């Protein structure tokens, strides 16, 4: 497509997003952090968390040397916790193998934990003017529409086609790579949007590619990228134990893999799948279902515990309903496995907690309690 890059850079000078805290940076640590945080998370959510993270961990050295629990605590609420674990592992590797300096080539960056091909190219473009295109969801959509690619972008063939097209559209001047890369992101996020793109508004002419866009000519803009029918979200239920001994609470450290990996949560029963929300209140839980985590010397304490109405928490591919049973005990009445630990209430704010558990403890005014 003729003048693709020039049109985009010219557009960005007038209409690109301004004032984002990671824009215009050459520090690969700060660019890398923003790129990882922005995966699967909206810009508005990332802005405050990004700045808070930099105050705590201002450079790759401080991040690499921090305990993982501190990193997870600061990441809690952003979701997709594998990102935080990879962030920590990547920082350690950069410190150990590259003396704390980020490598400059996309191929080297791509070998680091949690840095995919598009993220590697973004870091290289923003920080080192490397001539390689990114291909995040916004850019995939823009290129697929302008070039009329109607197949599934999930297939290897179409994905390879997009990479070739993206690299052929780069500006000739490598010094323009940071501006061009930011413009790609901004245009896809604000003009060539997934729904209600600018070209579908008859009162708007803000798309700079109207004359050349094949999808616009064929009236297939809203059909590109091809949408794959989603599998219905599963509904699961469980019961959590809010077990307290005066100023202590029993928490389980989740395995690093799986949902809430590496976070601290309340001991809970295995998740049970149900067919509909109508069945939520029909599921019965017993102390035996906690046997893999704890055992009570006095099982009656479990039966006497107060049970709260189920809370709802929506994940990407499932919905969890969990009821909470409040049980007050003495530590001597409980046996627990290595995954569980008694945590002081005054320490809760400094550990990583899943959002629904954190909200529950806040409602009971147990967080930030001394």
Point out the residues that are catalytic: 35
Half-sphere exposure of 264 (CA within 13 A, CB side): 26
How far apart (Å, rounded) are the C-alpha atoms in residues 84 and 317? 20
Q: Roughly what angle, to the nearest 10 degrees, separates helices 28-37 and 117-128?
A: 140
Please work out, in degrees rounded to the nearest 5, the angle formed at the alpha carbon of residue 141 by the alpha carbons of 180 and 109: 55
Cis peptide before 225 (omega within 30 of 0): yes
What 3-state DSSP class applies to 248? strand
How far apart (Å, rounded) are the C-alpha atoms in residues 153 and 132? 20
CB of 282 closer than 8 Å to CB of 340: no
Half-sphere exposure of 336 (CA within 13 A, CB side): 20
Kindly give the pairing relationship between strand 318-328 and strand 234-245.
Answer: parallel
Query: At residue 174, what are phi and psi to the nearest 5 degrees?
Result: -65, -25
How far apart (Å, rounded) are the C-alpha atoms in residues 153 and 161? 9
Nearest CA-CA partner of 127 in 30, 21, 22, 26: 26
């Amino acid at each position: 497509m003729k003048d693709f890059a020039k049109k985009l850079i010219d557009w960005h000078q007038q209409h690109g997003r301004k004032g984002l805290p990671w824009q215009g940076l050459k520090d690969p640590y700060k660019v890398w952090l923003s790129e990882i945080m922005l995966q699967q998370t909206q810009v508005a959510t990332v802005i405050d968390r990004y700045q808070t993270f930099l105050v705590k961990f201002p450079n790759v050295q401080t991040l690499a040397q921090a305990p993982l629990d501190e990193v997870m605590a600061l990441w809690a609420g952003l979701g997709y916790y594998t990102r935080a674990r990879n962030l920590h592992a990547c920082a350690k590797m950069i410190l150990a193998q590259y003396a704390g300096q980020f490598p400059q080539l996309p191929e080297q960056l791509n070998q680091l934990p949690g840095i995919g091909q598009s993220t590697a190219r973004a870091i290289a473009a923003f920080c080192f003017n490397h001539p390689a295109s990114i291909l995040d969801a916004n850019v995939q959509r823009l290129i697929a529409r302008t070039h009329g690619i109607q197949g599934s972008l999930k297939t290897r063939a179409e994905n390879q086609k997009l990479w070739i097209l993206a690299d052929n559209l780069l500006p000739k001047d490598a010094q323009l790579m940071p501006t061009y890369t930011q413009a790609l992101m901004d245009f896809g996020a604000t003009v060539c949007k997934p729904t209600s793109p600018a070209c579908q508004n008859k009162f708007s002419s803000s798309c700079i590619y109207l004359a050349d866009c094949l999808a616009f000519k064929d009236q297939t803009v809203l059909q590109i990228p091809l949408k794959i029918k989603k599998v219905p979200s599963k509904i699961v239920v469980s019961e959590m134990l809010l077990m307290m001994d005066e100023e202590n609470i029993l928490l389980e450290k989740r395995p690093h893999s799986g949902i809430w990996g590496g976070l601290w949560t309340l001991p809970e029963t295995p998740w049970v799948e149900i067919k509909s929300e109508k069945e939520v209140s029909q599921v019965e839980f017993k102390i035996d279902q906690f046997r893999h985590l704890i055992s009570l010397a006095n099982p009656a304490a479990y039966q006497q515990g107060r049970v709260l109405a189920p809370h709802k928490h929506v994940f990407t591919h499932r919905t969890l309903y969990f009821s909470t049973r409040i049980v007050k005990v003495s530590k001597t009445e409980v046996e627990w496995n290595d995954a569980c630990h008694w945590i002081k209430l005054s320490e809760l704010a400094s550990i990583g907690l899943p959002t629904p558990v954190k909200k529950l403890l806040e409602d009971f005014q147990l967080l930030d309690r001394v």
